[in-house]
Amino acid sequence: MHRSIAIISALIVLNLHQSLDAQLTGYWQQNVDYDISVTLNDVNHTLTGNITMLYTNNSPDELTFIWMHLWPNAYKDNHTAFAKQKVLTGSTDFYFAKDDERGYIDNLEFSVNGTVVPLTYDAENPDIAKITLFKPIASGETVSITTPFRVQIPKCFSRMGRVGQQYQMTQWYPKPAVYDKKGWHPIPYLDQGEFYSEFGNFKVQITLPENYIVGASGDLKTAAEFDKLNALADKTAATTLTETSLDFPPSSTTTKTLQYELKNSHDFAWFADKRFHVMRSSVVLPESERTVLTYVYFTNQHKEEWIKACDYVNRSVLFYSENVGEYPWNIAQAVDGTLEVESAGGMEYPTITVLGGDYDAESLDNVVTHEVGHNWFYGIIGSNEREHPWMDEGINSYYENRYMDAYYNRGNALGLPTFILDKLGVDTNNVDNVQYHMYQTMARQNKAQAINLHSTDYTMINYGVGVYLQSAYIMKYLEDNLGTDEFDRIMRKYYKTYQFKHVYPEDMKALFEAETGENFAWFFDMIINDALGPDYKISKFQKGKTAMAVDITNKSEIPASFSVSLMEGDSVLRTDWFRGFTGSQTLYFNYKPEWNVTHLKIDAQRKMPESERENNTIQTAGIFKTIEPLQVKFIVLGVDNPDRTTVTVSPILGWNENNKFMLGLGLWNAAMPTPAIDFVAAPMYAFGTSELVGQGSIGYNLYPKKGFINRLRIAESVSSYSYGTYQLLTTGETTTIFPQYLKLQSKAEIDFRKKVLSNKLSHSISYRNVFIRENDAFFSLDDNGDFVESYANEYMVNEVAYYLKSPTTLFPQFLKVVGEMGDDYTKLSLTYNTKIHYPGMTKGIDVRLFAGAFLGEAGDDKHNFTLAGNNGYYDDLYDEIYLGRNTSDRLLANQISLSDGFFKVPVYNYGLNSDNMLAAGNFEFAIPKVPLIGLFADVAYVAPGTAAENLDAFQYDAGVMIRLPKNIFAIYFPLVMSANLADAFDPETTTYSDKISFMLSLNTLNIFEIIRKLEF
């Protein structure tokens, strides 16, 4: 950081030092010493035992009750906070779990100092209860709280649980909630959202069948077992593991009792499996020269990778000890286990960590390091993870990135293969570059969230991108600001000050201010609470002989420190960091006369969490000081370089039945983050028709930061392909014509802002004007029978649409209302989609309801409501992509689209559509345990009209379908159909295959549309 402003700080330093000392003097925390003894029954999957907690009230307050966490009850039923969150995040495994797969804690009878006390469950959360004390606990007093308990161990749906006879005992015993300076913190167990517990000492005694191998928090005090474990590890090291079986051997009929002790900890976890291999090692800590034993436990499934895992534990214990502070415990361990937490690779507990899933060597090291690192940022420094997840995940991810940079020369927190990142144009040298692009994209679309939110306020993607990656990125910014040495010095002080203590962001701020003598409100009050970050703008450049001056304006209220670089092209000549300010200031730079400074740039190294970066550069020469140089890339779905207008060029191939093979050039600009103006052009030469075809669009994207509109897009698009192949019989010869259509569309879309970003419900509206010109739509023959002229059919349609999306897990709903106005008709339609689960199952019935009606006269019959989904002819706005539009090819002609009545019988005869009104219901039945195959049934009511006068009002069909997810592709085999439909197939000229239809929705694969919306 720029250090020239230390003059004012002398006084502040003094004050801050005093206030920090005062704060630590007044600091208090409760102490809980546990003595737990349990027995595992691996037939009934239960744990029975007793717990004694010596609870010391170090608060200045008298306590009349204590909140208890009974977290095994999170797995009790579908009404727990955990169960509800699982559903919210899209998982139905627990929701549809059988009763014998769930878990709970019971047999509780709490006594305080020997007297039984009442236990009252929280009305909302069965995993939180209050014990009421007959005699209040005075400040400074210690009481003994005891209870017997039994845990029914659930299948593994999250962290605690069993997988066969592998037991992961985490969050398994009754435990007081934290009482701190902010009061009580009773919190239900959650998947997304971690923990906060009181420190104390643990004595744990576990009885279980003799042949289990156990990895547990703390020191194993049972000497015979310790020897046995070491002998096992030495045997594993000396032999080559050839076994591949994952079967569980029978359990011994005899049992053993293991004793563990752990001091200064806020949790205790253990893992038991009869199949575990063990490896052991140790490291000597550099400062105290104390030895830390390291162990890893794994099954045959991942033995190749895990055999080396002790090295990773060793190296990470040393890395964190050196960079943060010495590891305080005697043992560090990692377990190859199972995790069912949304996209989580591992889970940390004091001195022991569990990893789920498959890893190669590097990613295993990466995850082991992350989880071992949590011993520091969670285990030793006990921040409130539920309310401030960045303080453990973010800070820990920052050190994890440093570790990966040190040992692999790159960060890889995303786990994305390098070749993909290279293709995206992302510099993979460090993870911060990857995060930079992710953050820019999210921020541009108003989808970024500040890093200091409560864990339950995050969208699923932001719990990863925000809490882990963006927090790490922001910590790196803090490091760059202070310089690595100074940052490390302060973080070591942070570690020493808050080791075995609770800490909040304001405490961390006070410490940084005391240590530096600077005001850190801009960081700890503003940066971490702001999703968009500061916005510095550079303007008004003046140049002298050896110095230059620029005006910098902070358009935000965050006086974040920033850097300015003198640049020659892409090379940085000089970078200076500045203390942040609000408003405007003129900054001066010295430069050497021989330097050819081409421009000045704010944050050239992309260190700042600044989302608006278009105003960061000023050219020092030329009249177009703000224009971006052009950069052309080949075959890259590019990330945006804010200094370049990036154009991507790629050869493209296409095919349809009418145009045959098409070859052309695709041109588009960068996709991430969505640029203000985007374009795609795909002109192609069609070899079948010898004509120029293709499509293109140019769009303007606005993401207002305030108000009810979250996204506004205005786009012009054009497309032109052949829409048929017609044979014209003229005198003596056949002429083939390939009539071509031209579509011009102007469209405006508005997505309304959600009140809460993590809300599922969203609304949007759109308006478009579509002009269609069909060349050679009409043709005539002269007296000689020659084809003489053709002329075009033209029409224009205006369409207004409203969309409601509520993609919840149990009851997803989608509504679309469309009004379409042509020259001579107006029609209205409504489509509603939902899913009904079979009782107790994830699978179910996909339901689509459609109703459409003409208001008054209907126009040309191609605008009619079709009973079958539209085909090439009835797709009047040329929205769908057909392999053979209007083709006579039997196979390709049976492509239908998800529209109108969506019957799976490909009939488009006159009369099987309506110029009046059509209502239909489409039902797709999934078959339990059978993937891809389903049953369909459709019913429709067709109102009598000119077109439908000979039709029965009620129509139906049903059959079997093969489908891919997300309505991308499906094939339909009708088995029954109403009489009018059956009559459409002349038994003389048709076969069953003519009745088979397919749907191919290529529009759903539009990558540009997906990136523009990022709907996670």
Which residues of this chain interact with Zn ion, rule CB under 5 A? 393
272: closest CA among 38, 98, 102, 52? 38
- Name every residue whose Cβ is closer than 8 Å to that of residue 549 and which is 6 or more positions away in sequence: 541, 542, 586, 587, 588, 589
Write down the least CB distance from residue 353 to Zn ion, Å: 9
Q: Which residue number, 265 or 375, has a Cβ lying nearer to Zn ion? A: 375
Q: Which residue number, 42 or 393, has a Cβ lying nearer to Zn ion? A: 393
C-alpha span between 49 and 47 (Å, rounded): 7
Write down the least CB distance from residue 382 to Zn ion, Å: 15
- Name every residue whose Cβ is closer than 8 Å to that of residue 385 and which is 6 or more positions away in sequence: 193, 194, 195, 196, 378, 391, 392, 393, 455
Q: Which residue number, 72 or 379, has a Cβ lying nearer to Zn ion? A: 379
Residue 85 exposure: Cα atoms within 13 Å on the Cβ side:
22
At residue 447, what is the residue type? Answer: K
Write down the least CB distance from residue 84 to Zn ion, Å: 23
Query: CB nearest Zn ion: which residue?
Result: 393
Write down the least CB distance from residue 386 to Zn ion, Å: 14
Q: Which residue number, 393 or 749, has a Cβ lying nearer to Zn ion? A: 393
Write down the least CB distance from residue 36 to Zn ion, Å: 26
Write down the least CB distance from residue 85 to Zn ion, Å: 18
Q: In what order do the strands lie in the sheet with 599-602?
A: 571-578, 562-568, 599-602, 617-619
Write down the least CB distance from residue 372 to Zn ion, Å: 11
Write down the least CB distance from residue 217 to Zn ion, Å: 17
C-alpha span between 447 and 532 (Å, rounded): 10
Write down the least CB distance from residue 337 to Zn ion, Å: 15
Q: Which residue number, 180 or 393, has a Cβ lying nearer to Zn ion? A: 393
Q: Which residue number, 413 or 424, has a Cβ lying nearer to Zn ion? A: 413
Q: If you write DSSP's letter for every residue of 86-107 in order, what string do you get?
A: HHHTT--TTTT--GGG--EEE-
C-alpha span between 79 and 85 (Å, rounded): 10
45: closest CA among 99, 106, 101? 101
- Tell me: cis bond preceding 673? Omega within 30 of 0 counts: yes
Q: Which residue number, 94 or 195, has a Cβ lying nearer to Zn ion? A: 195
Write down the least CB distance from residue 527 to Zn ion, Å: 21
Q: Which residue number, 393 or 480, has a Cβ lying nearer to Zn ion? A: 393
Q: Which residue number, 368 or 912, has a Cβ lying nearer to Zn ion? A: 368
Give me the long-range contacts of 790-793 (CB less than 8 A, separation at least 24): 790/737, 790/739
Write down the least CB distance from residue 671 to Zn ion, Å: 30
C-alpha span between 961 and 998 (Å, rounded): 9
Q: Which residue number, 377 or 741, has a Cβ lying nearer to Zn ion? A: 377
Please tell me what DSSP assigns to residue 467. I
Q: Which residue number, 393 or 994, has a Cβ lying nearer to Zn ion? A: 393
Question: Between the CA of residue 45 and those of 149, 163, 216, 246, what are the distances in Å?
Answer: 14, 11, 18, 19
At residue 306, what is the residue type? Answer: W
Q: Which residue number, 465 or 564, has a Cβ lying nearer to Zn ion? A: 465
At residue 31, what is the residue type? Answer: N
Q: Which two tokens stand for residue 54?
A: 């010596």
Please tell me what DSSP assigns to residue 676. S
- Name every residue whose Cβ is closer than 8 Å to that of residue 729 and which is 6 or more positions away in sequence: 735, 785
Q: Which helix (H) or strand (E) holds 56?
A: strand 46-56
Write down the least CB distance from residue 385 to Zn ion, Å: 9
**What is the Cα 391 distance to its own chain's centre?**
20
Q: Which residue number, 67 or 377, has a Cβ lying nearer to Zn ion? A: 377
Write down the least CB distance from residue 409 to Zn ion, Å: 23
DSSP collapsed to 3 states, 682-715: EEEEECCCCEEEEEEEEEEEECCCCCCEEEEEEE
